[in-house]
Structure 1
Amino acid sequence: MNFKKLAAALLFAGIAGTAFGADAGAAVVTVPGKAMVAGQVTYTGEVTAVDATTRVVTVKNAKGESYEIVAGPEVKNFAQIKVGDALVIKAVQALTLELKKGGAGIRERTDAVDGVRAAEGEKPGAAAGAKTTVIADVVAVDRKTGVVTLKGVHHSMKLNVKDPEQLKLIEKGDQVKGTYVEAIGVAVMPAAKPAAK
């Protein structure tokens, strides 16, 4: 399963992060030789129009801005989407970096993806996750600027290390293991029923 394609389908092929009211949170944790940053964002909007012929769904965010989104064939149970439904998108991302002293390993990269979709007849919804693990060589350390140059399997990159205590631990010839995890979930929730009078 192609994560990027599924994520695009989940987001109805065009919802930008700024399109919806967003509720975001992030955390950073460090210990000697390890660092992790993780964040979560929730986007919400209300379905204001559904065109079954063109599969265009119009969604309005909390600011009152409207967006037209094409729900491609990947979006199952399209007929279940109704005006007044809420579209809820949750995205979680995490990056963990771990210093491997002395190197001696090989550079490598592994990717894994997985996903699930709503069952037949249910409101559209899906979740997908992707995990990438990279082991890269430390090829240069610039202590004045705090920049560490890493060489991975396919390309090199510069890592800006702001914590001087972490920077002291890194030497040319070490390796860094990076693990990036991203998960996204989309749900169409039925419109709230009016209260009984």
Structure 2
Amino acid sequence: MRNSKLVVVVALVALANVGFAQTKPEVDVTSAPGKVSVTGTVKTTSTVVGIEPDTRTVWLRDPKGKVVQVVVGEEARNFDQIKLGDVVKAEYSQAITLTLIKEGATVGANENHSLERAPLGAKPGGTATRQITIMANVTAVNTHSSVVTLKGPQGNSVDVVVQDPDQLNRIKKGDHMEVVYNEAVAISVEPQTSK
């Protein structure tokens, strides 16, 4: 079965930047005529093996024994609740969806954020999300190289490679492309379980 997809130079790079994430990301690509979505998620579990309260630094060891140093920002409540042996669970996800809009669209961009933190006195943790929506103009379609050029609201241009010829044939100069990017991170700190 042929999996038709629009490939965007969006290699879910941030998944590799989670720091202590050594698990392989789960990546999913879905496609419909004029629309494609790419999502990726990384889940990790690490153990606190060091704490430096003055600099708000913790050292985390993953299941393979790799230790990384993480500086915990002031926005994270309850740093003093972290203890050696605590288990830190993190889930990081990204998604990008491109949708072809034939008419009636206006070039523009907007961004939304949310942040939920652990209550005072509890173990640190919380979730943070961000969504960016951009409407861009299709300024060129090169059928020989399978490249579509998009011009964003600030005048910058981006080339997008479209591997599926059926998707490429739907796109014409003057069309619009809506790009929606989402990312979310959830982190929890749990006491060490007794063995």
Q: CA deviation at 1:55?
A: 2.4
Q: What corresponds to 1:86 in structure 2?
A: 87
* Matches of 1:100 and 1:16, distance apart in 2: 32
Amino acid in structure 2 at the alignment position of 1:113: H
- The secondary structure found in structure 1 opposite 2:119 is coil
Q: What corresponds to 1:38 in structure 2?
A: 39
Q: Deviations for 1:1-34, whole angstroms, at most 9, x for unmatched residues?
A: xxxxxxxxxxxxxx94353332421111111111
Is the 1:147–1:158 Cα contact (8 Å) retained in structure 2? yes
Q: What corresponds to 2:108 in structure 1?
A: 108
Unmatched runs of 5 consecutive residues or more in structure 2? 1-15
Structure 1 residues 93 and 177 mapped into 2: Cα distance closer, same or farther (>3 Å)?
Answer: same
Q: Paired residues, what number? A: 179
Is the 1:99–1:170 Cα contact (8 Å) retained in structure 2? yes
Amino acid in structure 1 at the alignment position of 2:175: D
* Matches of 1:179 and 1:70, distance apart in 2: 30
Structure 1 residues 42 and 172 mapped into 2: Cα distance closer, same or farther (>3 Å)?
Answer: same
Unmatched runs of 5 consecutive residues or more in structure 1? 1-14
Q: What corresponds to 2:186 in structure 1?
A: 185
Q: What corresponds to 2:56 in structure 1?
A: 55
TM-score for both structures, normalised by structure 1: 0.85
Is the 1:20–1:62 Cα contact (8 Å) retained in structure 2? no
Is the 1:139–1:173 Cα contact (8 Å) retained in structure 2? yes
Deviates more, 1:41-50 or 1:166-175: 41-50
Q: CA deviation at 1:190?
A: 1.2
- The secondary structure found in structure 2 opposite 1:171 is coil
Is the 1:21–1:44 Cα contact (8 Å) retained in structure 2? no
Q: What corresponds to 1:125 in structure 2?
A: 125
Alignment root-mean-square deviation, CA: 1.6
Deviates more, 1:22-31 or 1:145-154: 22-31
* Matches of 1:18 and 1:120, distance apart in 2: 26
Q: What corresponds to 1:167 in structure 2?
A: 168
* Matches of 2:158 and 2:116, distance apart in 1: 33
Deviates more, 1:43-52 or 1:149-158: 43-52
* Matches of 1:31 and 1:75, distance apart in 2: 40
- The secondary structure found in structure 1 opposite 2:168 is helix
Q: CA deviation at 1:123?
A: 0.6
